Copies of this chain bind each other. A is one copy, B any other.
Amino acid sequence: MKGALIFIGNELISGAVENTNSVFAGRVLTANGFNIGEIITIPDELKIIVKYLKTLVKKYDFLIISGGLGPTDDDITNLAVSKAFNLKLKENPDFLSAIYSAKEYEFSKNLAKKMALLPESTVPLSKGFSTAGYFLNIKNKLLFFLPGVPHQFKHLLETEVIPMLLKLKVNYKKEIIKTLRFFDLNETDINQFIQNLPKKLISFIKIGYYPVFPEVKLILQTLDKEKLESFIKKLKKHLGIYLLSEEDESLPQVIGNLLKQKKLKIAVAESCTGGLISSLITSVSGSSSYFDRGFITYTPESKVELLGVNPKTIEKFDIVSHEVAIEMAEGVKKKTNVNYALSTTGYAGPTGGTIQNPVGTIYIGFAYENKVKSFRFSFSGERKDIQTLASYTALDILRRYLVYGEGFFSYRFATGIKEKII
């Protein structure tokens, strides 16, 4: 099955907004085995929207159209659909009452009515029409109209569009889909490993790569359960320590499950990551059962006052050092009753850094049993990338320890290690 994507919006044309929906849709559709023939990005102009709807519906099995479903003046997708396929616009009472009852939509009756004026024979995509978006069958071609708002677009695409498309796939047999998540490997590493495997091991398995920075998803699809199992076994044997989850769980979820199972607790002390580690941990529902507290000690004084870091250590070794990372993690363990403590100190950039420790240098401390280890990392990228890599790496150090114990602490970007017995 082959489809095309149409993105509507002046802001996409002018580059005012990055088209993250296009990247997302490309990845998800490709990973699920659908071909995309072309991607069209057009302004909020009736004539050209109508033209492409009419042209592309003839060429493809399905179209995914994003944008122009809102209540504002520049939203004209419904009108374009009505013109392109000769469909009457009718007020959809269910959608209208859903709009009225949604707290977020506290706008005028006129705008609500405009938004609920849908082409006839459309089928809502979200249950109870909780967001805009509908399905339309035009001569057995499948048209999916999705809101341009990224989280709504992505949610509907994953939970409604893909399952509908999969059901209608010709010769559809229930394929097994496994989504594995990796950390500290990039897609080319995984790809290279797989390319060197014997062909028969991977035949009949469709393999898709899908990076969700800084994790990588490997999406496997097959009808052959045994083949899949032996392939995953091979992957685990060679890339096991990088494998976060076979169930598409993110690192914070994996950490959460491990700590909950083992009834263990953690606390953190963050400097350069500025709360991101805590925020990742607490993004998981139920994290209160294993996350005790976090210290965002951004200034040298706060490291001394809250964590008991020795001012002489800072003076002698610098605020960004193995020694400070160690004393931070040690301090957390002393001041709490947790089993594990993580700490970070470093230069996330773009300014700052020293000759010894340029921007991107991050020390991660990890206190466990009677030890504190500090790992030096040299990350690169923008501030946000460096903070994200450091935070995920800190969590992954804990994960590897919980799953494999000591001795599995080698990382791509690691550039040094130091240990202290406490």
Q: List 9 A-B contacts (CB under 8 A).
A: A16-B179, A16-B210, A74-B207, A275-B281, A275-B282, A278-B278, A283-B383, A285-B351, A292-B299
Among B43, B74, B298, contact of A282 (Cβ-Cβ < 8 Å): B298
Among B43, B213, B296, B298, contact of A151 (Cβ-Cβ < 8 Å): B213
Most buried by B among A105, A188, A221, A306: A188
A40 to B24, CA, bound (A): 17
The residue in chain B whose Cβ has the minimal distance to the Cβ of A104 is B186
Does chain B have a CB within 8 A of A417?
no
The residue in chain B whose Cβ has the minimal distance to the Cβ of A278 is B275
Most buried by B among A10, A275, A336: A275
The residue in chain B whose Cβ has the minimal distance to the Cβ of A150 is B213
Q: Is B298 a contact partner of A275 (Cβ separation < 8 A)? A: no
Does chain B have a CB within 8 A of A39?
yes
Given A38-B42, A106-B189, A274-B281, 19 other A-B contacts at CB below 8 A? A11-B217, A12-B39, A15-B26, A15-B30, A19-B19, A37-B42, A39-B42, A40-B40, A104-B186, A105-B188, A107-B189, A270-B275, A270-B278, A283-B383, A288-B298, A288-B299, A291-B298, A293-B299, A296-B296
Among B38, B73, B187, contact of A72 (Cβ-Cβ < 8 Å): B187
Bitwise interface map of A from 20 to 51 toward B, beta carbon under 8 Å scored 1, else 0: 00111111101000001111111100001000
Number of interface residues of A (CB under 8 A): 101
Q: Is A36 a contact partner of B14 (Cβ separation < 8 A)? A: yes
Bitwise interface map of A from 173 to 203 toward B, beta carbon under 8 Å scored 1, else 0: 0000101000000111101100100000000
Given the known interface contacts A191-B72, A286-B351, A299-B288, the answer about A39 and B13 at a Cβ–Cβ threshold of 8 Å is: yes
Does chain B have a CB within 8 A of A61?
no
Q: Is A274 a contact partner of B282 (Cβ separation < 8 A)? A: yes
A10 to B38, CA, bound (A): 10
A36 to B187, CA, bound (A): 31
Residues of A participating in the B interface, judged by any CB pair closer than 8 Å: 9-19, 22-28, 30, 36-43, 48, 70-74, 103-108, 111, 149-151, 177, 179, 186-189, 191-192, 195, 206-213, 217, 219, 221, 268, 270, 273-279, 281-283, 285-288, 291-299, 302, 306, 336, 348-351, 380, 383-384, 387, 412-413
Task: Tell me the minimal C-beta distance from A292 to chain B in angstroms.
Answer: 6
The residue in chain B whose Cβ has the minimal distance to the Cβ of A297 is B293
Which residues of B are found within 8 Å of A276, using beta-carbon distances? 275, 279, 282
Q: Is B302 a contact partner of A211 (Cβ separation < 8 A)? A: no
The residue in chain B whose Cβ has the minimal distance to the Cβ of A191 is B72
Q: Is A71 a contact partner of B191 (Cβ separation < 8 A)? A: yes
Among B22, B221, B275, contact of A296 (Cβ-Cβ < 8 Å): B275
Q: Is B43 a contact partner of A40 (Cβ separation < 8 A)? A: no
The residue in chain B whose Cβ has the minimal distance to the Cβ of A380 is B103
Among B18, B26, B41, B295, contact of A14 (Cβ-Cβ < 8 Å): B26
A41 to B39, CA, bound (A): 5
Among B28, B210, B293, contact of A298 (Cβ-Cβ < 8 Å): B293
